[in-house]
Homo-oligomer: A and B are copies of this chain.
């Protein structure tokens, strides 16, 4: 049996963890894809495809534990969703500023 995903409540989400999670090009790419609705069917494929599956899973885990995404198993896939309204409420303007910044 697989372990359930654990998501922090929004009150427990810490700015440092969010910034750390976003401070990686692959994770930032995932967040951009999720924010842009780049995976309408599901978001198990938002990570850069050239990355090994284990690396992709690690990046999703960091994002999940930071409070940036939720993950849900559906059959053999994992559907990831950006917690946009949660993060916007907790850290107003942060995601918008990050996502509109071209690096």
Q: How many residues of A contact B (CB 8 A)?
A: 23
A102 CA to B92 CA, complexed, in Å: 10
Q: Are A23 and B25 in contact (CB under 8 A)?
A: no
Note all chain B residues with C-beta closer than 8 A to A72.
none
A39 interface hit (Cβ, 8 Å): no
Q: Are A93 and B100 in contact (CB under 8 A)?
A: yes
Give residues 66-101 of A contacting B (CB, 8 Å): 90-94, 96-98, 100-101
Kindly provide the distance from the CB of A42 to the nearest chain B CB, expressed in whole angstroms: 27
Using a CB–CB cutoff of 8 Å, the interface residues on chain A facing chain B are 14-17, 19-20, 22-25, 28, 90-94, 96-98, 100-103
6 A–B contacts, CB within 8 A, in A order: A15-B103, A16-B23, A19-B98, A92-B101, A93-B93, A93-B100
